[in-house]
Structures are given as structure tokens and as C-alpha cells.
Amino acid sequence: DRTDGPGADLVGKHVVITAGGTREPLDPVRFLGNRSSGKQGVALAQAALARGASVTLIAANLEVAAPTAVELRLVGTALELEAAVTDAAAGADAVIMAAAVADYRPVQVSAGKIKKDETGDTLLLELTRNPDILAGLARTKRTGQVLIGFAAETEPDPVRLLVLGREKMARKGCDFLVVNRVGWAEGFASDRNAITVLDHDGDIVCEVSGTKMSVAGRILDLIG
Ligand code: CTP
Ligand code: CA
């Protein structure tokens, strides 16, 4: 996975990447999840390794194999991902939050299987907000560290998509935000992606559409 050629501009850099989607348990056999496959995060890990970086991959329920050369940390829930990425970020030159983190988790995790007979014809789940991990990383970021977030949006109108991206950047305070349209047929399982990258001020840095590997390359250019 590693090269030392002329493209090895990330030699000596430590890059932390979160990938996949968190799952929030309801009971021992069920969870609330999302459709993130982890492909874009894994492509970022592969591309960073190929450019000579040392990579910590914080993996939440990946549907694809992780590269063998990464330091792999497996997590399940948003709180587990928060603990792992906060720990890894302390020594990182760059942190890329490609994971789809559950915004809410069940208030109570049932010790035994939730039974239909005990719940009836409707079931109300009470959920509580997970911490905003990216915003937390932005608050505690050390100087020189590059922090990159993703924004998953279903908004079809390109102008309104940008407005949403800029609002999200203002809430997160990271260095770059990769705005990514997702939907029933777009984004997740695909090998291709289309992104618009905003800088801290909300200005467009680049627009790329192509394979998740070529998109990964452009995202890593932001670190160099
Ligand atoms: N993220 C995070 N912690 C959360 C939720 C999201 O760190 N609890 C990160 C994601 O990894 C991503 C970025 O924040 O890098 C944006 O995630 P997204 O779901 O698009 O934005 P939210 O702020 O959760 O807003 P919403 O889902 O309401 O659009
Ligand atoms: Ca969210």
C-alpha cells in the first residue's frame, strides 16, 4: 500500500480517518443505522497510504475491506467513535471525518430482546442526541492540524445545497467541508462520488466528480 516515489508528499504525516456508519443498539439483536458503506473513507485511507502517510482508520461497520497497512480501530456506536477519534486526533496532522455518525441514540438499551407482546401495535422509541464529534474536534484542534468534515445532503438544488453546506460549516468550524449529495440512488454503495469542497469561510475550493479514489486524491491535496 505504501510508496516512496515523487507522489509521496504525505511522508511523515499522520492522518486519522473515520469511515462507515455508526450503529446505535436498541437491544441485543437490533440497532438504528444508516446506509454508509465506508467506501469513501477507505478510498481516503488507501490514497493517504499511497502518498506515504501513516494512517489510523477508525472503522464503523464497514461494508468493504480496510487496507492492511492502516492502524485499524473498530468502533460500533457514535460514543465509541468519539472516544477513538478524540484519542487518535491528539497526535494527528490531519483528521478526516468521513464517517456517517448517528445523530441520535436510544435513551434506553433493552437488556433483553424487545418483545411485540409487551409493546403492542405501535412502538415509540425515545432517542437522545449524540455529541457533535466534528464540532468538538474543531474546538480542541491544535495549531497546524487540518480538520476535514463531510456534509451529507439530499437537497437537489445546487444553490440551496451550497447554502446548506455554508450553514453547516458555520456550525462545525472545521478547516474544510466536503459537501456530498446523498439520496436513494446516490452516494453510499456507489464507487463514484461528486463533491464540492468549502473552506472555513464557506468559499468553494474545488468541485470534483469521479471515482471515490480520484475524489480521495483531491481531498488529500487539501492537507499537503
Ligand atoms: N458528525 C459528527 N458527529 C455527529 C454527527 C455528524 O462528527 N454527531 C460529522 C460527520 O462525520 C460529518 C459532519 O459531522 O463529517 C456532518 O455530518 P452531517 O450528518 O452531514 O451533519 P449534521 O451536523 O449531523 O447535520 P444534519 O444531519 O442535521 O444535516
Ligand atoms: Ca447527521
Based on the residue annotation, tell me whether 34 is a catalytic residue of this protein. Answer: yes
**Averaged confidence pLDDT in the chain:** 94
How close is the Cα of 101 to the center of ligand 2, in Å?
6
User: What is the separation of C-alpha 63 from the centre of its chain, rounded to a whole number of angstroms?
Assistant: 14
Residue in 45, 140, 145, 52 with CA at minimum distance from that of residue 95: 145
What pLDDT, in 10s, does the model give residues 185-197? 676 778 888 899 9
How close is the Cα of 132 to the center of ligand 2, in Å?
9
Q: Are 36 and 21 in contact (CB under 8 A)?
A: yes
| Residue with CA nearest ligand 1 atom 27 | 103
Average pLDDT over residues 145-167: 96
pLDDT greater than 70 at residue 6? no
How close is the Cα of 53 to the center of ligand 2, in Å?
28
- Quick one: pLDDT at residue 2? 47
Surrounding residues of ion ligand 2, Cβ less than 5 A: 103
Ligand 1 site-directed mutation target among 97, 188, 197, most atoms within 8 Å of CB: 97
Atom of ligand 1 lying closest to residue 149 CA: 15
CB atoms within 10 A of CB 32: 17
Q: Are 182 and 164 in contact (CB under 8 A)?
A: no
How close is the Cα of 50 to the center of ligand 1, in Å?
28
Which grid cell sits at 149? 468534515
Ligand 1 pocket, residues with Cβ under 6 angstroms: 78, 97, 99, 101, 103, 130, 132-134, 149-152, 168
Residue in 206, 208, 187, 196 with CA at minimum distance from that of residue 161: 196
**Half-sphere exposure (Cβ direction) of 207: Cα atoms closer than 13 Å:** 5
- Quick one: pLDDT at residue 192? 84
Q: Which ligand is nearest to the CA of 171?
A: 1
> Of these residues, 34, 61, 130, 193, which one is catalytic?
34
What pLDDT, in 10s, does the model give residues 25-84? 999 999 999 999 999 999 999 999 999 999 999 999 999 999 999 999 999 999 999 999
Annotated binding site for CTP: 103, 113, 131-134, 150, 168, 172
Which grid cell sits at 123? 412502538
ipTM: 0.99
